[in-house]
Amino acid sequence: MKKILLSLLTVLFLGVILNCSSMPDKNPHLQRQWMMVSFDGFSKDQLIANKAEINLTSSVVNGEIQGSAYMGCNRMTFTSKFKKGGKVKISQGASTMKACEDVKLETAFQKKFETMTKYSIEGHFLTLSDGKGNTMKFVAADWD
């Protein structure tokens, strides 16, 4: 009886380990909602008024985070792959097509977002940069 119980527990334990190892790793320091605080000459007040943000809390598929962004009018989706060494690859997905009065921030964001190739996380701040002096800085939305 002990051998059967031990064998059953071993099989269950191995099943749990194998299942967990096939799941993508979550990175709680990265996979969160980020509020934009600095970008391309826009004031912090403008960014706050537009509720400018990227959301990296969605699913992970093949190592890529399915994310979304909002800059005051349309919701945008994208995929991003954050790699070791501070490298990132962002691919634009789709966007809603609402007609809005002021889309300057949204247009500037869409133009530069995919060009970001580097990232760093310092405390509660995420910075994306392109290596040419262009940056986007965010603060974690769950930070007080």
- pLDDT reported for residue 144: 59
pTM: 0.79
- pLDDT reported for residue 21: 36
CA distance 42 to 38: 7
- pLDDT reported for residue 29: 87
CA distance 62 to 7: 34
CATH 1.10.287.470 applies to domain 25-140: no
**Positions of the chain with pLDDT under 50:** 5, 8-9, 11-12, 14-24
The domain limits of the chain are: 25-140
For 73, list phi and psi in degrees, rounded to 5: -140, -75
